[in-house]
Amino acid sequence: MQNLQGKAAFITGGGSGIALGQAKVLAGEAGMKVVIADIRQDHLDAAMGWFAERRLPAHAIRLDITDREAYVRAADEAERVFGPVHLLCNTAGVSQFGPIEKATYDDWDWQLDVNVKGMINGVQTFMPRMIERGAGGHIVNTASMSAFVALPNTAIYCTTKYAVRGLSESLRVELEKHGIGVSILCPGAVNTNIHESVLSRPERYGSTGYYGADPETFKRLKSVIESGIDPLDLGRIVLEAVRRNDFWILPYPEFIPTLEKYNGEVLASLRRYESDPDYLRRKKLGKAMPGAR
């Protein structure tokens, strides 16, 4: 999607953080009309003040992305206000960290519902509309470098982000025939307040084995990410990736050694069985999996 001028974008989590950075860049630098959807009204109000000061086309919708019926209403509203949505940014996400043995079902359900099911809701809401319209489009899914690397105390978050990666790779294969591009953004450290996402955790996920609104914990988590990429700079990276129709958006070369090690281990395990009699049999019969040599 090289021509974004005047087209509409729908951005989840758009009231703050990475998503707000995307919205500011898309509206202010690419000339798009942006719909920012967020569960927190205070974030939406603050964000809309920024757009109003600059007279940029933006519309705010309070949305819990885990609510499928509300998502459909939000999509209908977005189209009434700005017309067909050509760019969907599935950016909303939450995180809460701690030892896996202390996790409750509510801890699992909250992150899975927002990070995975919420993204599925976005795809299932807008993808059919893009296909039916027949004019292409683009979907940007925000995962994390945790879609590649498992670290201590991140089991739930990591599980959700690996799922986002699988969904995104599948969408890339499935949607090309419809002229719909797909990108996956995998941030490392970004200078946001994602560590405070527990403040918007609904009461229905009330049982937790982890931290709540603890200032000291927030301070410690913030110290890890405050030297990261500025959300506006990351938004510009996303914009250029959409224009180029890039799938991978990985602006963190510091992870190269780690991924080389991980990928090397995977390849070494595969090569261990290159002389296995059953593999040789399958290969001779032409029954090895697609992609096998």
Q: What pTM value is reported for the model?
A: 0.94
* Adjacency order of strands within the sheet including 180-185: 58-62, 33-38, 8-12, 85-90, 137-142, 180-185, 248-249
Report the pLDDT averaged over residues 33-62. Answer: 98
Q: Would residue 85 count as lying in a domain? A: yes
Domain span including residue 102: 8-251
**Judgement on whether residues 197 and 266 belong to the same structural domain of the protein:** no
> Active-site positions?
157
Say if 3 falls within a structural domain.
no
pLDDT in tens, 165-193: 999 999 999 999 999 999 999 999 998 88
36/105 same-domain check: yes
Q: Which residue has the higher pLDDT, 225 or 17?
A: 17
Residue 198 lies in a domain: yes
What confidence tens digit (pLDDT) does each residue in 70-111 have? 999 999 999 999 999 999 999 999 999 999 999 999 999 999
Q: DSSP letters along 8-45, please?
A: EEEEETTTSHHHHHHHHHHHHTT--EEEEEES-HHHHH
> Into how many domains does the chain fold?
2
Q: Residue 214: CA atoms inside 13 Å, Cβ hemisphere, count?
A: 9
Same domain membership, residue 153 and residue 224 = yes
